[in-house]
Amino acid sequence: MPERAVRIAIIGAGPSAYYAAAALIGQEDVEVRVDMFDRLPAPYGLVRYGVAPDHQRIKSVAALYEKTANDPRVRFFGCVEFGKHITIDSLRPLYDMLVFATGAQSDRSLDIPGEDLQGSMSATEFVAWYNGHPDYRDLNPNLEVEGVAVVGVGNVAMDVARILAKTVDELKETDIAEHALEALKQSKVKNIYVLGRRGAAQAKFTNPEIKEFGKLEHADPVVLASELELDPHSAATVEQDRMARQNVEILREYAARGQGGKPRKVHFRFLVSPVEITGRDGRVAAMKIERNRLVSTPDGYLNAEGTGEFEELPVGMVLRSVGYKGTPLPGVPYDKRKGTIPNDHGRVLNPATGDVIPGAYVVGWAKRGPTGVIGTNKKDAEETVALMLEDVKHLRRAAVAHGQDKKLEDLLAETGCKYISFEEWQKANALEVERGKAKGRPRVKFINIEEIRTALGG
Ligand code: NAP
């Protein structure tokens, strides 16, 4: 077989995939060719479908990914589903190395009665809906309700609470999906309850995110001073941890403001856990919450423990925002407890033996779980790529010869896959931006592949 570049398939085209591709083409020791496959027609994963539409600065990182995507050594194949169009077995003969960059596509549940009622959903579904993810186009959340509970106090909870709290004027210059903008125009939501099971010092949101609630046009943050009192352990946390300290200071400032005069309220509640969602005619009608106290575990972690004191919140919608969770991929090892692909610093492991599976790697949330900001994935991907480059020397190469791209085309054609290339995506992207210009928006998104194909002329 003629000497050829190392052929690498990356499954997923989100931030971790692009950081891995950038690290692979950014080194000079090994010649590589990288093919990226994504189930969705558009690249960039959570940058397009997760990051809030009013956080355009964070989205500007896509320009970096585009640079990588435009490198002749990198190709993008959209609308290609792992498990349907491609599998481990069909990719192995074509690629020397496989990299899983599939993120965490599901979410954790609360395991409380009433979670299945209409109007109770995960924040991730709601996020996907307002960001124009094709699978959630028809979620149709009922915004004719006055009260919404958002469970969890991470940055995803901040995103959904803020989008619900903002006016259409505050959102109309973003790239929020048109259907979401239309629905939010009719919103009757007045009270948004953001619920932390532990105290303010344990909140996971970051300072800029909580600060934004102090500057909304139409909504006041409401905080009970009594829920900000710190036990000695939390006081010590606040001493040592700058982010926690500033979070508490911001919340104290909100508490001092009182109720405020704006029509919408975002109530930040701490030391409360949902215990039941109650319904009427199959729909969410209220949420029963229990007051908690913090209990220190032997390893110093502060756990929330119910006190037996209950309260009812009048809500018609519940968004659980208690963390993303990975989902298993067909034929790929999966750690059910962590929701990740078992790995040693990015080398995929056989869970039965603990041995490394040659030529299989993982990056991003599928590797370490759903934590960290977009940029965290850069270092994480570079760690995996460094191991890939170490392994190249001992690699058993796939039988495919240089220039045999035809085999991939055949494979995709055989499985009925009409993929979308990066060039096609770039044309669709330009059209989205063009549509946005007329409305003073960064872009007006196409939602599904049919819309894209129609716009591209069939
Ligand atoms: P997260 O930061 O892990 O927050 C999850 C929240 O859910 C925590 O407050 C957690 O409380 C709570 N929780 C978990 N189980 C619960 C239960 N059974 N009942 C009540 N509360 C429960 O997760 P995330 O908000 O999904 O964010 C994921 C990652 O994306 C984070 O690293 C985040 O910073 C990042 N992100 C960043 C941005 C941004 O930069 N603007 C935006 C969105 C997301 P405990 O602490 O008590 O477990």
Q: Is 367 in the pocket of ligand 1 (CB under 6 A)?
A: no
pLDDT the model gives residue 405: 74
Residue 377 in this model has a pLDDT that exceeds 90: yes
Query: Same structural domain for residues 251 and 121?
Result: yes
SS3 (DSSP) at 283 = strand
Q: Is 123 in the pocket of ligand 1 (CB under 6 A)?
A: no
Residue 171 in domain: yes
The amino acid sitting at 38 is: D
Rounded to 5 degrees, φ, ψ at 25 are -85, -10
Query: Same structural domain for residues 301 and 330?
Result: no
Query: Same structural domain for residues 10 and 72?
Result: yes
Residue 359 in domain: yes
List b or e across 99-126, with b for residues whose CB sees 16 or more CB atoms inside 10 angstroms: bbbbbbbebbebebebbebebbbbbbbb
Residue 250 in domain: yes
Q: How far apart are CA 156 and CA 324, in angstroms?
A: 10
Alpha helices in 302-371 (DSSP H): 365-368
- Direct distance between the N- and C-terminal alpha carbons of the chain, in angstroms, rounded to an integer: 40
Using most ligand atoms within 8 A of CB, pick from 46, 153, 159, 204 the residue to mutate for ligand 1: 204
Instruction: Report the number of distinct structural domains present in the chain.
Output: 2
Query: Same structural domain for residues 191 and 47?
Result: no
Mean of all residue pLDDT scores within the chain: 96
Q: Which of 301, 322, 343 is the last residue of a domain?
A: 322
Residue in the structure block whose two tokens are 């982010």: 243
Instruction: Please report, for the domain that includes residue 160, its CATH number.
Output: 3.50.50.60
What ligand 1 atom has the least distance to the C-alpha of 304? 47
Query: Same structural domain for residues 210 and 316?
Result: yes
Query: Same structural domain for residues 217 and 255?
Result: yes
Residues 369-379: what's their mean pLDDT? 95
Query: Same structural domain for residues 57 and 169?
Result: no
In this structure, how many other beta carbons lie within 10 angstroms of the beta carbon of residue 65? 22
- Inter-residue contact 105 to 81 (CB < 8 Å): no
In this structure, how many other beta carbons lie within 10 angstroms of the beta carbon of residue 225? 12
Q: How far apart are CA 209 and CA 454, in angstroms?
A: 38
Residue span of the structural domain in which 401 resides: 6-105+325-418
Percent of the chain with pLDDT over 70: 99
Query: Same structural domain for residues 241 and 379?
Result: no
Q: Is 156 in the pocket of ligand 1 (CB under 6 A)?
A: yes
Q: Is 202 in the pocket of ligand 1 (CB under 6 A)?
A: yes
Using most ligand atoms within 8 A of CB, pick from 55, 57, 155, 271 the residue to mutate for ligand 1: 155
Q: Residue 403 — pLDDT band, cuts 50, 70, 90? A: low
Q: Which of 290, 322, 354 is the last residue of a domain?
A: 322
Residues 76-94: what's their mean pLDDT? 97
H or E element: which one contains 324? strand 324-325
Q: Which of 322, 338, 367 is the last residue of a domain?
A: 322
Q: How far apart are CA 346 and CA 362, in angstroms?
A: 5
SS3 (DSSP) at 158 = helix
pLDDT the model gives residue 458: 74
Residue 1 in this model has a pLDDT that exceeds 60: no
Q: Is 199 in the pocket of ligand 1 (CB under 6 A)?
A: no
Using most ligand atoms within 8 A of CB, pick from 59, 131, 197 the residue to mutate for ligand 1: 197
pLDDT the model gives residue 300: 85
Residue 435 in domain: no
Q: Is 147 in the pocket of ligand 1 (CB under 6 A)?
A: no
Which residue has a Cα nearest atom 39 of ligand 1? 155
Residue 332 in domain: yes
Q: Is 100 in the pocket of ligand 1 (CB under 6 A)?
A: no
Residue 448 in domain: no
Residue 200 in domain: yes
pLDDT the model gives residue 352: 94
pLDDT the model gives residue 2: 47
Which residue has a Cα nearest atom 1 of ligand 1? 154
Instruction: Please report, for the domain that includes residue 89, its CATH number.
Output: 3.40.50.720
Query: Same structural domain for residues 168 and 250?
Result: yes
Residue 153 in domain: yes
Query: Same structural domain for residues 59 and 172?
Result: no
pLDDT in tens, 326-362: 999 999 999 999 999 999 999 999 999 999 999 999 9
Query: Same structural domain for residues 314 and 410?
Result: no
What ligand 1 atom has the least distance to the C-alpha of 372? 32
Query: Same structural domain for residues 313 and 330?
Result: no
Structure tokens at 182: 């239309």
Q: How many helices (H) and strands (E) does the chain have?
A: 17, 19
pLDDT in tens, 94-146: 999 999 999 998 999 999 999 999 999 999 999 999 999 999 999 999 999 99
The amino acid sitting at 18 is: Y
pLDDT in tens, 268-316: 999 999 999 999 999 999 999 999 999 999 988 999 999 999 999 999 9
Residues 196-225: what's their mean pLDDT? 98
